[in-house]
Amino acid sequence: MTIRALLFAVAVIVAAAPAVAQSLDVNTASQAELEALPGVGPKIAADIIREREEGGPFASVDDLSRVPTMTNTVLGKIRGSVRAGSARKPQETVVLQEGKVVSGDIVKKVLQRFNAEPTVREVQQQAIDYMRVHPQEVDSWRVRARTNALAPRLTTQVQGDLNDDRRTVEKPGDPTIVSQDNDQSGRLVIGAAWDLDRLIFEPQEMAVARESVRIANLRDRVLDEVTRRYFERRRLQVDLELSPPKDLADRVKKELRLQELTADMDAVTGGWFSQKLIDSGTDPY
């Protein structure tokens, strides 16, 4: 083998090595690339593409389980061959010209840049779970308060006598004789009583009703606050994308406000919001 042929072979091996080692990104792979994976085929490949377009990019390889036709067997076969790259989609350049009417497609392209982030409904539900303000819990309290009237009031009473008679008999020349008589008798009386008027009106139901109103008001305030801050954050994101501040102080101020709103979302979700951003490949702070 000549030196030129040897160098050519080495170059081919070096060039091919990264391609072999590189796994397929399920967030950008084409239909044909997905079909080539073991066990996938046209149906699952089409479902993967449909799911990432409708539900957003996959946060991890395990996130492929949200594809209806994806089985654990197929997922196990492709696990070492695929990856979920950055959930951010390649951004398209949006050109706006003064005096032109902005089409709905352009608006969608701008908003689609944030598809990898949690939706407002997901944040609302997570906040409700974290604050434990579920209406179902109030219904459970109400049922237990009503059935509480069916429980009887139990009373116990102990009745009995305890007599301890001790006698000593002494006779000259005979040993002393001590006799003892124990007379013990008793009984335990258990009674049960029902307050029939509680079947008509249970006082504890009033406390449950007051608590249900308090929880309903708290739930409304949580949802209102989450919704307001969520969309304030989204408007700020769009503003930074379309009209980046040229003044450094203004830019820093807006970036800090964005982080503050992110922290607000974390406060009502127990840190869930920023973790979801990290999983999608976005640095929350």
Instruction: State mean pLDDT over 111-127.
Output: 89
User: Locate tokens 């409708």: which residue?
Assistant: 54
Instruction: State mean pLDDT over 77-85.
Output: 88
What pLDDT does 264 receive? 94
What pLDDT does 38 receive? 92
Are 67 and 46 spatial neighbours (Cβ–Cβ below 8 Å)? no
Residue 44: band (very low, low, confident or very high) from pLDDT cuts 50, 70, 90 = very high
User: Locate tokens 């307001």: which residue?
Assistant: 228
How many Å apart are CA 284 and CA 262, to the nearest integer? 7
Q: What CATH number should be reported for the domain whose range is 21-83?
A: 1.10.150.320
- Of 153-167, 185-199, 246-260, least confident by mean pLDDT is 153-167
Enumerate the β-bridge partners of residue 181.
165
User: Locate tokens 């406000």: which residue?
Assistant: 257
How many Å apart are CA 254 and CA 109, to the nearest integer? 22
What pLDDT does 19 receive? 38
Inform me whether the pLDDT recorded for 51 exceeds 60: yes
Of the CA atoms within 13 Å of residue 12, those in its CB half-sphere come to 6
What pLDDT does 33 receive? 92
User: Locate tokens 């008589």: which residue?
Assistant: 181
Q: Averaging pLDDT over each range in 77-81, 104-108, 195-199, which range is the top one?
A: 77-81
- Of 51-65, 182-196, 227-241, least confident by mean pLDDT is 182-196
How many Å apart are CA 180 and CA 184, to the nearest integer? 13
φ, ψ (nearest 5 deg) of residue 75: -60, -35
Residue 184 CB contacts under 8 Å (≥ 6 apart), including other chains: 160, 161, 162, 163
Residue 157, amino acid: Q
Mean pLDDT over each residue of the chain, to the nearest integer: 77
Instruction: State mean pLDDT over 238-263.
Output: 92
Q: Where are the domains of the chain?
A: 21-83, 104-138+201-279, 152-198
Of the chain, the percentage scoring pLDDT greater than 90 comes to 31
